Amino acid sequence: MKKQITIIIVLYLFFLISGSPRWAYGLGEKTLVIGADATWEAIENRKGITEIFSIRPNPVLVLSSALKPEDDPSLDMAISFDESKPEFFIDHTRHYRIAVSDGLSVADRRLARIGMGAALFSDARSYNSGIEDPVVAGPLRITPGTKQALFYPGRMLRDFSIEFWVFPMNMENGEHILSWTASRRNSQGIFMVQRIQCIASKNRLQWNFSDFFDLIADEQPINVILEGSTPLVPRTWSHHLIRFDSDTGLLEYLVNGQPEDMLYATSTGREGGQIFYPVIGESGSFVLGGRFMGMLDEFKVYNQRISEPEIQKYSQQGGRMETRSLDLGGPNAGIFKVEVDGGRTSNSGGVIYNEYTQNGIFRFADHAMVQFFIRAGESPYRWTGIAWRSFIPGTELSGVRGRYVQLAAVFYPSGDGETTPYLDAIRIRYQPDEPPPPPSMITAIARDGAVDLSWRASPDTDVMGYMIYYGTSKGEYFGEGALHGPSPINAGKRTSLHIDGLTNGTLYYFAVAAYDRLEPLHLGMSSREVSARPLRTVE
């Protein structure tokens, strides 16, 4: 047993002398956890990143599939249907008010096309029934709430686009996916009904625009019809986009990003004629799912013509997150490793797939990936000039030191945009920069008007010098008068010092502390106290 203890002591002394970082990992190592049970509260900046709860026991970070108004200023309306209940549905641009009624519920993330949920329409009313027309008073009604709304009464529109995802249960003829209804008064004072209707017809969608564009000279309503050519498959998501170009009068209908039908809202019906612009009527409102059984997701209106519709679930631009400045508790802490748990996930047919991994290069077979960055410094605010440094989770780091550390991660989806990587937990492993232990064997020898102070060097390998404290009261080191200056005296790397300029007959107390750097001063504990009384030499 004694032999084993001797070996341990010898190894300890060897590592102490060598200053090996591996020895440091085992002694005094600390870990700061982000994510997992510690939550993601440390994430300060997120762009295109959100949290979900259905992958691991704790929330994970993933790419956000829902476009938000701050991501695209051209958004006039953005309804994601990601809220937990229909009564919480909102327009994220705050331009429109939403009212819901029976026949509407929320489909969760497993069934949604984008984001955390979708609007599920299951109104049991017959298509031909009704004292109250479900097209006018459907389960989800949207009305302009501010003058900034594109569909505010009296506005003449320029470019616009309307898009959404639809998941029909059966796609029966006559189902109404969307309708806009308003009223307009012609020059003779007669009210005319303005409509936009998106209706199922022969397993396709048909768009009808009635009195939506400005009237021609004889004040007859302009009726515009666009018809899809692609049959819609029941229980399958598809993307639909209507867009208008006010420079040419071109009105187009696209399904899954492919053109289906087009026409010119001009006097000639061709490019080059007089363009008729949309003019919004009074008391207008959108109704979604007035005669429809299925799901809708990500209903959006734009104040411009969308040239390239985004039909992938996740944008190829990816997303980025950054932590705030994380305090490691003391200056010059050495971060030697960052470990990461995560993986990739996808949702197909209501089934969530999950591939879990730990550390290494976060790059998957379908090209989904996460790239990681780190930087460290001594101030939580002064990051200018401190560059981000990329790293591979689980590998050893060197030269990353500071009291504060920041992490960043850039997420990229799979090549087809249907899979997102995710992060489950991040562990920052670091070694606090403990101050050096005090020197030992302090001796003080009185001289004439001086004291000779000496000590044995601190056992720490990176000591930069020693501070000598002196004073005339025990434990209080406010001494003055020494030729080296007031207390404390910086002795540099010397292990002895002749302290001259002291008053004979006065008892002085001394202590010595080691430091391993000056900026900022990183001072260890003081040594034991010694004393000496300078006396005049008797001749």
Q: Can you give the residue ranges of every domain in the chain?
A: 19-62+316-431, 66-302, 440-532
In this predicted structure, what is the pLDDT of residue 123? 64
Assess whether pLDDT exceeds 60 at residue 14. no
441 alpha-carbon distance from chain centroid = 55
User: Top-level CATH class of 440-532?
Assistant: mainly beta
Assess whether pLDDT exceeds 80 at residue 21. no
66-302 folds as: Jelly Rolls (2.60.120)
* SS3 state of residue 30: strand
Assess whether pLDDT exceeds 80 at residue 127. no
Cis peptide before 520 (omega within 30 of 0): yes
Per-residue model confidence as pLDDT tens digits over 499-527: 999 999 999 999 999 998 777 788 899 99
Write the single-letter amino acid at 382: R
Task: With CA atoms as reference, report the closest residue to 309 among 360, 234, 258.
Answer: 258
Q: Are 237 and 300 in contact (CB under 8 A)?
A: no
pLDDT confidence tier of residue 221, bands split at 50, 70 and 90: low
Q: What percent of the chain has pLDDT over 70?
A: 89
Write the single-letter amino acid at 126: S
Decide: pTM greater than 0.75.
no
Q: Is the pLDDT higher at 479 or at 20?
A: 479
Q: What percent of the chain has pLDDT over 90?
A: 68
pLDDT confidence tier of residue 373, bands split at 50, 70 and 90: very high
pLDDT confidence tier of residue 310, bands split at 50, 70 and 90: confident
In this predicted structure, what is the pLDDT of residue 18? 38
19-62+316-431 folds as: Jelly Rolls (2.60.120)
- Rounded CA-CA distance 205/124 in Å is 22
Written as one string, the DSSP assignment of 226-295 is: EE--SPPPTT--EEEEEEEETTTTEEEEEETTEEEEEEE-BSSSSTTSPBPPBB--EEEEEEEEEE-EEE
- Rounded CA-CA distance 64/43 in Å is 15
Matching fold, domains 19-62+316-431 and 66-302 = yes
pLDDT confidence tier of residue 136, bands split at 50, 70 and 90: low
- Rounded CA-CA distance 454/393 in Å is 48
In this predicted structure, what is the pLDDT of residue 140? 95
- Rounded CA-CA distance 190/206 in Å is 28
DSSP state at residue 71 = G
In this predicted structure, what is the pLDDT of residue 281? 92
pLDDT confidence tier of residue 129, bands split at 50, 70 and 90: very low
User: What is the mean predicted confidence (pLDDT) over 192-219?
Assistant: 85
Q: What is the 3-state secondary structure (H, E, C) of 165-202?
A: EEEECCCCCCCEEEEEEEEEECCCCCEEEEEEEEEEEC
